[in-house]
Amino acid sequence: MRRLKPHMNRTEALYESSRCLFCFDAPCIQACPSGIDIPQFIRQINSGNDTGAARTIYEANYFGNACGKVCPTEVLCEGACVYNLQDVKPIEIGRLQSYATTKVIESGKKLFGPGEANGKSVAVIGAGPSGISAACEPAGVGVRSGCI
């Protein structure tokens, strides 16, 4: 199966991340529906901190890996990139996001875990992306949660 957005290797990720201008107003963040701190995770990739980049992504979006592959970045964050105003190819944010999250998945590192159990529980109605995301939040602070 051919990927819509081909996977980047380390060299490609370093090159692409070095192109980012780290804009003060970060129009890419404003255009991201999940509000990922895009300049931050790109800076982390560029400094060799792929795990930190993945953490930055997942803190804002529990589906960061899938979104890096299927999100229409060309009309969202990449569409807002200031390079578009200069007729320069925008930063490949989706591919960089996929790169960082795939690296941490392949490494087997665990970025987050449940908090210490506190005896409380919550049920979330609906097991779609928003339901699963809603169940993850309380689990992080020790509340037993699940989707129904």
Q: By CB neighbour count within 10 A (0-12 exposed, 13-18 middle, 19+ buried), where does 77 fall?
A: buried
Assessment of whether the complete model's pTM goes beyond 0.75: yes
* Domains in the chain, CATH or no CATH each: 10-107 (1.10.1060.10), 113-148 (no CATH)
CA pair distance 109, 4, nearest whole angstrom: 26
Per-residue pLDDT tens for 120-144?
Answer: 888 888 878 778 777 777 877 888 8
pLDDT above 60 for 2? no
Find the range with the poorest average confidence among 41-50, 79-88, 107-116, 121-130.
121-130
Per-residue pLDDT tens for 15-63?
Answer: 999 999 999 999 999 999 999 999 999 999 999 999 999 999 999 999 9
Half-sphere exposure of 75 (CA within 13 A, CB side): 3
How many Cβ atoms from other residues are within 10 Å of residue 141's Cβ? 12
Tokens of 16: 């692409």
What sign for the dihedral angle of Cα 86, 87, 88, 89? positive
